[in-house]
Structure 1
Amino acid sequence: MNTQHVLIETLTPLHIGSGRLLQGNTEYLYFANHSTVSVVDERKVLSIIGEENLDKWIDIIGRGDDLLDYLVKRKPNITPADTSKRIVRVEGKRSPGGNQTIREQIFSGNGQPMLPGSSLKGAIRTAIFNALVRQNPGAAQRINDFKEIKEFQDFKSGQSKRTVKYRGGTLEKKYTGPDPNHDVFRLLRIGDAHFNETVCLLSETLNEKGDGTFEMKNDPHDKVEQFIECIPAGAETLFRVQIPSELKARLNEIKYRDTASKIPHRERMEWTNILADININTKRLIQNELNRYQSQHLPDGALEYLDSLKGMMTGLHNNQCVIRVGFGTGYLNMTGGWAEQLWRDVANIDFKKEMADLAEGVRRNARYNSFALPKSRKMALGGIPLGFLKLTVFSESEFAAWQAQAAEREAAKLRQAEAKRIADAEKARLAAEAEAKRLEEERIKAEEAKKPKLFEGTLKQGQELDAEIAKSGKPNKVKVYAAGYESKEFDLIGYASPEPVGKVVIVKVDQLDKKKNLTQIRYSRFK
């Protein structure tokens, strides 16, 4: 068995979804002071709330109240670690909150974020399939062999309608093998790649409008804008790939020649060919993107998109390739976009109509069929494309050197993480102190506002004055805070119930004598 160690580096954020959406205020909490998301551990939250208050927790969820606010009341010095299964750092200027959802990254059984081998193998399969199709386009140009149109009568509208489907499996059999047992990709076995951390960021959509211009669809209430949990750019890990050399050798033996004849293009399953096919496919896709967008006036939110693409393939060595995988990579990346090139050369077809049929076949919403395929692009906030990876195939000596440096790399990561933890703790302490100071200032201000203020102006009928209960009774006796009346007490007319001495009340001037002296006051409200 020929096992190869491959280093994978995320050039841009990578998201492979678990299929689960994390619901804000229920399944995750956002700690603004820490710029982190806490994926909720129900047991930890229950330990803060207390089992006797479980109904309160359920009520908070049901009413949509802020769960974190309630937890802070129960535990004023609460941290993300107090509530979480895992903590996810938030990147970018926008942060999740309220009832917004986050697309969860897929994790392995041991709790590590991962890139499944099947996802990477699918991307490699696309690259090699495109190489094979472009090398021998005959089967791919016989469109009717794998295109299916069904016409039917719509019962609601009474109109004739149709559906267009393309049987990709039928075409693939022509190039990769007639059935799973004789598929050439059985000779390529890819393990899962495990990483150490995830981040949360906002994905936006560059959208083509009906007038041919472009916009960023970034309305917080728009479903095309999504927060995603992903493996960050700059993450590295190793995974293993097996190309069973013994099996390939046996297929060359005479007694297995019949079986071997059913497995086409076995020569592609060599690393030199695989890396070359991947790079050619990626370069073509990037160039297609640049050709489409670099002459367009793009919105500010997408300006980094083209610059990021231009530098994606620079500095590669012979043992390296760049491939794109996962969420937000788009239809053309998933298929390689071979149809647009190869169908142009097919005689006796209407190319524009065929491309319109293709758009109809792959789109979920028919109202966009008049647009170029695809009409939108997903990207991280700021125009960063998603899912670009660099693969480096190690020799035995390179693998040994990488392993030897692993301890220092891990120590450097730990030092960096500890420095960040200390910085975050200091940031949180300063934020807590600032919040405590603000609350104290508000308390003092509120207390000052409750204290009676001395009125020193000219008294008029209906003038409001601060007063204080001097004697409790029916009626209460009050001391009025007006210059010249500090030692005089008045009956609190208009309020019958006894009130405690010292309670501040607002009264109105009810009567003045001919010399404008105050003779009677009336209750207005308590301060």
Structure 2
Amino acid sequence: MKATLTTLTPVHIGNGTTYNKNIDFIQSENKIGIIDEKKVLNLIGTENINQWVSAIDKGGNEFINLLKQRGWNNELEHISSRICELKNTKTKSTQLKEQYRTAINGACIPGSSLKGAIKTCIFDYLTSDDDFINQRKIDDLKTWKDSKDFKTGNNIRKNEKWSDSKTDNKIFGKTANEKSTRFLKIGDIHFGNINTDIINIGILNKYYEKWDFKTGQQYYAESIPSGATANFQMKIDTILLVKNIEKYPSLWDSKKTEPFNNGVENLCEIINGSTISSLNFELATLKNENIDDNIKHTIINILKSLILEIENR
């Protein structure tokens, strides 16, 4: 079926490419231009490519100075493959992570990325059911190291923690053929030639009893803006699901397949419920944390607006 996705916040799915300031991109007030090598060569001349390499090696503003020597007048469109709006001009990041895109259909959220997020919601839904969890041994969901207590001679556990791989195997199935999520099929979400935004990403970390942003670890991220809409294909293969239940009933207990039994709309209700639950948890946790009031109030207002928007849909 054809589904429609609308982003509620900026979304960044990286393609693994990181750009460096004044080498791969240039910032001019609230605009960032991604360097187009062909346009730069047309401006400086192919005979001066060594000067370009030298300017990059020297760093700083040498590349910009070279462009200005060749007549460039701060017009980003003359040297850029695309120009994006920077949402916070007060930041001083020097690296930019590029948004994943396809050559023909532009900025994109891969179907696998959306499916992974939905899988997290299904995981939350299933593990909220005590009966479902009680049927599984808790020890089968954890990892630890055995160490001998020298006083008693007994084995004790060290570094005990939840194991993602074990939990995934127990909740969804050991192999690809046994995983319930195989029946959920999601296509890539293409946003075409939408104007992407540049947002600044900071790492908010806890030092002792206080939260603060890590110094020097912020970066720019090219992002699909909030409110962007695109159509994509989303399907629950109920025919294949029913055939598997009939042929291998021991692999498909009713609770495991419940999220997929009543169509896409029911699955969306599960997703919304899980998302609201997570946002409320963040909200409750944040209120008791020692964070700068301005930062705290900003995050709280964003969380509240997201909860309200989801509840009203």
Amino acid at match of 2:42: S
Instruction: Name the structure 2 match of 1:259.
Output: 248
Instruction: Name the structure 2 match of 1:205.
Output: 203
Instruction: Name the structure 2 match of 1:287.
Output: 280
Q: CA deviation at 1:281?
A: 1.3
The answer on whether the counterparts of 1:116 and 1:193 sit within 8 Å (CA) in structure 2 is yes
Paired residues for 1:92-171 under 5 Å: 92-96=88-92, 100-110=94-104, 112-135=106-129, 136-138=132-134, 142-150=137-145, 166-171=162-167
Partners of 1:150 and 1:173 in 2: CA distance: 20
Instruction: Name the structure 1 match of 2:34.
Output: 39
Instruction: Name the structure 2 match of 1:277.
Output: 270
Partners of 1:185 and 1:94 in 2: CA distance: 43
Closer, same or farther: CA 268–65 of 1 in aligned 2, 3 Å: closer
Closer, same or farther: CA 297–149 of 1 in aligned 2, 3 Å: closer
Partners of 1:176 and 1:206 in 2: CA distance: 32
2:87 to 84, 91, 94: 91
Instruction: Name the structure 1 match of 2:224.
Output: 231
Instruction: Name the structure 1 match of 2:181.
Output: 185
Amino acid at match of 2:128: R
Q: CA deviation at 1:266?
A: 2.6
The answer on whether the counterparts of 2:14 and 2:100 sit within 8 Å (CA) in structure 1 is yes
Partners of 1:251 and 1:74 in 2: CA distance: 67
Q: CA deviation at 1:69?
A: 2.6
Amino acid at match of 1:105: Q
Instruction: Name the structure 1 match of 2:56.
Output: 61
Amino acid at match of 1:43: K
Partners of 1:164 and 1:109 in 2: CA distance: 46
Instruction: Name the structure 2 match of 1:313.
Output: 307
Partners of 1:260 and 1:191 in 2: CA distance: 29
- 1:49 and 2:47 correspond: no
The answer on whether the counterparts of 2:142 and 2:166 sit within 8 Å (CA) in structure 1 is no
Amino acid at match of 1:116: P
- TM-score normalized with structure 2 length: 0.84
Where 2:252 maps in the other structure, the secondary structure is coil
Partners of 1:50 and 1:189 in 2: CA distance: 50
- 1:172 and 2:189 correspond: no
- 1:241 and 2:234 correspond: yes
Partners of 1:28 and 1:134 in 2: CA distance: 46
Instruction: Name the structure 2 match of 1:214.
Output: 211
Instruction: Name the structure 2 match of 1:25.
Output: 22
Partners of 2:295 and 2:311 in 1: CA distance: 32
Closer, same or farther: CA 206–178 of 1 in aligned 2, 3 Å: closer
Partners of 1:76 and 1:107 in 2: CA distance: 29
Partners of 1:201 and 1:80 in 2: CA distance: 19
Where 1:137 maps in the other structure, the secondary structure is helix
Amino acid at match of 1:241: M
Q: How many residue pairs were aligned?
A: 294
Q: CA deviation at 1:65?
A: 4.0
Partners of 1:294 and 1:169 in 2: CA distance: 32
Partners of 1:83 and 1:311 in 2: CA distance: 39
Instruction: Name the structure 2 match of 1:14.
Output: 11
Question: Equivalent pairs: percent with the same residue?
Answer: 27
Name structure 1 gaps, 5 residues minimum. 153-161, 321-527
Partners of 1:69 and 1:151 in 2: CA distance: 62
Partners of 1:243 and 1:115 in 2: CA distance: 19
The answer on whether the counterparts of 1:139 and 1:171 sit within 8 Å (CA) in structure 2 is no
Partners of 1:181 and 1:16 in 2: CA distance: 28
Amino acid at match of 1:266: T
Measured against aligned partners, the alpha-carbon deviations of 1:127-156 in whole angstroms (never above 9, x if no partner) come to 11121122112256x33223232379xxxx
Amino acid at match of 1:31: S
Q: CA deviation at 1:9?
A: 1.4
Partners of 1:151 and 1:199 in 2: CA distance: 50
Where 2:267 maps in the other structure, the secondary structure is helix
Partners of 2:60 and 2:308 in 1: CA distance: 50
Partners of 2:123 and 2:60 in 1: CA distance: 52
Partners of 1:163 and 1:316 in 2: CA distance: 38
Amino acid at match of 1:308: I
Partners of 1:74 and 1:209 in 2: CA distance: 49
- TM-score normalized with structure 1 length: 0.52
Partners of 1:164 and 1:17 in 2: CA distance: 32
Q: CA deviation at 1:166?
A: 4.2
Measured against aligned partners, the alpha-carbon deviations of 1:430-466 in whole angstroms (never above 9, x if no partner) come to xxxxxxxxxxxxxxxxxxxxxxxxxxxxxxxxxxxxx
Measured against aligned partners, the alpha-carbon deviations of 1:24-45 in whole angstroms (never above 9, x if no partner) come to 121111123xx21111111211
Closer, same or farther: CA 41–93 of 1 in aligned 2, 3 Å: closer
Q: CA deviation at 1:180?
A: 0.6
Partners of 1:301 and 1:315 in 2: CA distance: 21
Amino acid at match of 2:203: T
Q: CA deviation at 1:302?
A: 3.6
Instruction: Name the structure 1 match of 2:153.
Output: none
